Structure 1
Amino acid sequence: MAVSLLTRQVSDLCLGKPALKSLSISSTIGDALLALKRLGENFISIWNCDHHHYNLSAVDRGFKECQCVGKVCMVNIICFLCKEEHLSNPATALQTPLSVLIPKSPCLVRHLEPNASLLDAIDLIQEGAQNLVIPLESSSKTSSRKKLVQGTLSNISTLHNNNRQYCWLTQEDIIRYLLNSIGLFCPTAANPINSLDIIDTRNKMALHYDDPASSALPFISRSLEIQASVAIVDSDRKLVGEISPFTLNYCDEDVAAAIATLSAGDLLAYVDCGGPPEDLVQLVKKRLQERNLEQALELVEEYSSGASIPTSYSSSSSDDEFGMGRSARWMGYSARVVRRSEAIVCYPWSSLVAVMIQALSRRVSYVWVVDDDGTLAGIVSFAGMMKVFRERSRTMGEGCLN
């Protein structure tokens, strides 16, 4: 039955998930950048605990239970570097403590025990959580895994709280799980989304095609928090594309220079699948020269020449040691996600299940809602979809949700 499905333990959704790779809150932004590139991660978890004193007793090291306080991705770093003072000296900016990227009130990441129910998880997401941190069952491979990861980057860890490992439980995981049993939610899942009160018009963040891309920065940061995107519209408010955190997350940090110098429309082409067009690269370089941003210009030139990590702030370890770099990142981008700047759209009369399938098939957590003429009407998110299932479970109790 549908309600029974929602009372399943969250551990059921964590089977086979990899252990979180993590950095200490005391690390630098440059540490996070290298970890994201060389480990091939989309996000890296940030923990408030000391991973360098396992040989000390709990009393000696002032032991406190490890706590995941947030997560960092390329989008966080790109937005940070876009500020004028950081763009003028990116190498120095990357030595900034990682803590500046973590929200003061870390509600985007929440801990949850493995025996908690799916309802508990959905409730936390309704409160604003993006990712839930779930302990994994102990494994005999724990010690060897720790050795492998720490041999790759010495400040990366997968172990916390008495050698426990953890994994992410994401909104996508929950929606995919619900979709697998969608028949239990008939006929709710077949209802049009405009009858379910889940079209969000408040968080409809939009820019005109000719607006400076830099004016999108507050929207990009906000869309990352709520797992949405920034719409690009024409003069008639028709949707023509999007600046998506999910796309930016597969770019390199030289995109910060493009955001600082290009229009919103040109940025769409710059971050599109396959890499930036040469004419736009040259335009970015020209405008950086005009603003005397010499170090940012060097960053763009090093990347455009094929460097995997600019020599100005790379570590002494070679990229070949890790088998990672710019070429690997772009290969992964093209093969794994093939994201483009075209926005995924649905209509107010689209069914809930159809919108779920659209989002899951494109590995995004939202779908734009447009009217017949292409005018932007709003956005539907995974959080909104889960709200429907949660409310039906409250009102209907056991049995099929009618």
Structure 2
Amino acid sequence: MAARLSRHELSDLCLGKPPLRSLSVDDTVADALAALKKIDDNYVSVWNCHHSFIRKPQPKHQTTISKCTTCTCIGKVCMVDIICFLSKPQNLSSPSAALNSPISAILHQTSSLLVRHLPPTASLAEAIDVMHEGVHNLVIPIQNQFEVFDSNLRHADKTTYCWLTQEDIFRYLLNSIGVFSPTAASPINTLGAIDTQNLFAVCYNDPASSVLDLLSLSLIYQSSVAIVDPNGKFVGEISPFVLNSCDEAVVPAMATLSAGDFTSYIDCGGPPEDLVQLVKERVEDKNLSELLPDETGLCSWSSFSSSCSSDEDSCSGKNWKLGGYSGRVGRRSEAMVCYRWSSLVAVMIQALAHRVSYVWVVEEDGTLTGIVTFQAMLKVFREHLKFMC
């Protein structure tokens, strides 16, 4: 049974997957911001070619666009990348200029290692092996090309692509969880699934800006940044999954609030009025008035309006508010926790149910002791499959 499961082709997992909307390596941070506001996914793929779905007016003298011989996905970007980039001290004084930076400015050095092209005939076992190496997204050609009507989604070879995430793999495995008995029912501390090394944490009263580098690392490890009290007890988190539901309007809060207050600010119910006023006062004190929103609630430096002017339908239904409460599905900043004696399948279901790729591990008194990520769980399932096969 395990051998049969491991031989399942990735095309089975790709059924119903939408085609990727891609950005070009020639696009800007502003283009990435506009793109993320147009799609439902938290990430947008970046390619080495010029097939960007952000339509820009071409110079009058330019009548043809050179075609690419090969199109390769070289990474992905999300709203957290943009928020962290705009929140850097050198960009706070001139966010407009920062938005005009090339998209490479927000691509992490290891970004190309986080995505991998695989054929649809590749097996589930191959996918797990690749993801065990640290790959987040598998880029798969869509086999039924005739179902894709938008020519803007096709690359030079007339191919469209979708991608599979670690979450997709786990949802697929969950349907056959009985194959992994008794491993799936074993406590996580007996399976070596608890990571105590790559544990990112700050204190409640630390500046929110102190988490910028940790947030970038948490994207690579698909984890989060914990907030602890002076005794090391877990009190909350600044989660990339919550922050991805925000927009660039949270940059002033990131630059001025404490880590603890920032979690309240980005909660999906919207920021408390007292924190909104506090951010405004501190921004003015730091002479960063360009960061403040105008009367419409949008930042004057945001590229949102200009980017959507040529594509009005893409903005319909969006309601971007101060504080990061976006038109997407909001996620509350309540963190998911488990105990070292929790079973692997329980932790797996907990993560999938809340659409996160990790669960914090705490002691009975609330002390933070580790984290369980999809990466660690994949290692367990991979070893089980190899043993059974």
Same fold judged by TM-score > 0.5?
A: yes
Distance 1:216 1:69, change over 3 A: same
In the aligned structure 2, how far is the partner of 1:219 from the partner of 1:141?
Answer: 41
SS at match of 2:248: coil
Identity of aligned residues (%): 56
* 2:41 alignment partner, SS class: coil
1:325 aligned partner: 318
Tell me, yes or no, if structure 1 residue 69 matches structure 2 residue 70: no
Aligned to 1:362: 354
The 8 Å contact of residues 145 and 159 in structure 2, kept in 1 or not, is answered as: no
Partner of 1:395: 387
Tell me if structure 1 keeps the 8 A contact 2:247–2:320. no
Give the count of matched residue pairs: 371
What SS does the aligned partner of 1:231 have? strand
Q: Within the alignment, does 1:292 sit opposite 2:287 as a pair?
A: yes
Indicate conservation of the 8 Å contact 1:88/1:293, yes or no. Answer: yes
Give the aligned partner of residue 101 of structure 1: 106
Q: Give the structure 2 partner of residue 345 of structure 1.
A: 337
Taking a change above 3 Å as real, the CA distance of residues 14 and 49 of structure 1, as seen in their structure-2 partners, is: same
Structure 1 stretches of at least 4 aligned residues deviating more than 6 Å after TM superposition: none
**C-alpha separation between the residues in 2 aligned to 1:274 and 1:213?**
19
Residue correspondence of structure 1 range 127-206 to structure 2 within 5 A: 127-142=133-148, 144-146=149-151, 157-206=152-201
1:235 aligns with 2:230: yes
Q: 1:158 to 1:221 in 2, by over 3 A?
A: same
Contact 1:240–1:342 under 8 Å retained in 2 = no
Partner of 1:46: 46
1:260 to 237, 255, 259: 255
Partner of 2:55: none
Counterpart CA distance in 2 for 1:339 and 1:317 is: 26
- Matches of 2:88 and 2:317, distance apart in 1: 28
Aligned to 1:8: 8
Task: Report how far residue 62 of structure 1 moved.
Answer: 6.8
Kindly indicate whether the alpha-carbon contact (under 8 Å) linking 1:239 and 1:376 is maintained by their aligned counterparts in 2.
Answer: yes
AA partner of residue 85 (structure 2): F
- Structure 2 residue runs of 5 or longer lacking an equivalent are 53-64
**8 A contact 1:208–1:264 mirrored in 2:** yes
2:79 and 2:247 in contact (8 A); partners too = yes
Shift of 1:272: 0.6
Alpha-carbon distance in structure 1 between the residues aligned to 2:19 and 2:317 = 20
Task: Give the aligned partner of residue 382 of structure 1.
Answer: 374
> Does the residue aligned with 1:315 lie in a helix, a strand or coil?
helix
Contact 2:10 2:124 in 1 (8 A): yes
- RMSD of aligned alpha carbons: 2.0
Q: Is the 8 Å Cα contact of residues 257 and 279 (structure 2) preserved in structure 1?
A: yes
Match status 1:80 vs 2:85: yes
SS in 1 for 2:113: coil
1:340-398 CA distances to partner (integer Å, 9 max, x unpaired)? Answer: 2221000000001100110000000000000111100100011111111111122232x
2:57 aligned residue? none
Q: Is the 8 A contact 2:84 2:212 kept in 1?
A: yes
Contact 1:69 1:102 (8 Å CA) reproduced? no
* 2:360 counterpart SS class: strand
Inter-partner Cα distance in structure 2 for 1:8 and 1:350: 29
- Larger mean CA deviation between 321-330 and 1-10 belongs to 321-330
2: CA distance between counterparts of 1:367 and 1:339?
15
| Corresponding letter in the other structure for 1:34 | A
Query: Which residue in the other structure is 1:17 paired with?
Result: 17
TM, length-normalised to structure 1: 0.88
Distance of 1:344 and 1:141 partners within structure 2: 39
Aligned mates of 1:3, 1:141 — CA distance in 2: 32
> Is 1:115 equivalent to 2:154 in the alignment?
no
Q: Distance in 2 between matches of 1:161 and 1:384?
A: 37
Q: Residues of 2 paired with 1:359 and 1:140: CA distance?
A: 35
* Deviation of 1:327 (Å): 4.6
Q: Name the CA shift for 1:166/1:119 in 2 (closer, same or farther; >3 Å).
A: same
Structure-2 change in CA distance of 1:331 and 1:295 (3 Å) = closer
Aligned residue among 73, 82, 96 for 1:91: 96
TM-score, normalised via structure 2 length: 0.91
Cα deviation digits, residues 310-349 of structure 1 (max 9, x gap): 475331644863214335994644xx3x422221000000
Where does the alignment leave 5 or more consecutive residues of structure 1 unmatched?
Answer: 53-59, 147-156, 398-402
Contact 2:291 2:301 in 1 (8 A): no
Structure 1 match to 2:56:
none
The one-letter code of the counterpart of 2:133 is E
Contact 2:24 2:49 in 1 (8 A): yes
Which residue identity lines up with residue 22 of structure 1 in the other structure?
S
Cα distance between partner residues in 1 of 2:249 and 2:35: 17
Q: How far 1:141 sits from its partner (Å)? A: 3.8
